[in-house]
Amino acid sequence: MIEKTLVLIKPDGVQRGLVGRILARFEDAGLKIAGLKMKWADKEFAMRHYTEDLAKRRGGHVRKSMVEFISSGPVVAIALEGVNAIENVRKMTGDTEPRAALPGTIRGDYSHVSYAYADSKKSPVKNIIHASSSKKDAEYEIALWFDRKELHSYRTANEDHIF
């Protein structure tokens, strides 16, 4: 199934100069970039990304911390397209808690912070990247971060090997 998903390279990934290396991983895996832009999200926009549902699932303090963090610097938003893109991107990004992310995943290779450490510092978990967790989330998040005219359809050389 061909699907689209949203990836955000968070402020820590942008500040550390990891954008190119992360993009290359997705392209090397055969995923197509359908949309790409840099945005500095304000807190109001960040709260639309990290919805009330997050507060219900993980607590209001977690949502507040994530909103503060994602609005602290520029973010690179990427709409990716490919076969089972949501599942495959989630596998590539690794566990949300960097300490538990396996080597070879983006979080496993570029971060190592634990929830306990972040909590002890009263700081967000700096985990480099966000990836949509479901089809519903992907649709909502792509529509939030991109206007329809910012999403592009084209054929890549990889598609000749997939279809």
- Could you report the per-residue pLDDT of 60-89, keeping only the tens digit for each? 777 888 899 999 999 999 999 999 999 999
Within a domain: 15 = yes
Question: For the whole model, what pTM was predicted?
Answer: 0.93
- Percentage of the chain modeled with pLDDT above 90: 78
pLDDT attached to residue 63: 82
- Kindly list the catalytic residues: 130
- Predicted confidence at residue 54, as pLDDT, reads 61
Kindly state whether residue 134 falls inside one of the protein's structural domains: yes
Is 158 part of a structural domain of the chain?
A: no
Q: Please check whether residue 156 lies inside any domain of the structure.
A: no
In this predicted structure, the answer to whether residue 37 has a pLDDT above a threshold of 90 is yes
What CATH number corresponds to the domain at position 67? 3.30.70.141
Is residue 53's pLDDT more than 80? no
Is 65 inside a domain boundary? yes
Indicate whether 14 pLDDT > 90. yes
* Domain-located, residue 10: yes
Classify residue 88: in a domain, yes or no. yes
Task: Extract the tokens encoding 79.
Answer: 């709409």
Q: Examine residue 159 and state whether it is found in any structural domain, yes or no.
A: no
Q: Which domain holds residue 13?
A: 2-148
CA 105, CA 111: separation in Å to the nearest integer?
Answer: 10
How many domains does the structure of the chain reveal?
Answer: 1
Q: What is the DSSP letter of 51?
A: -
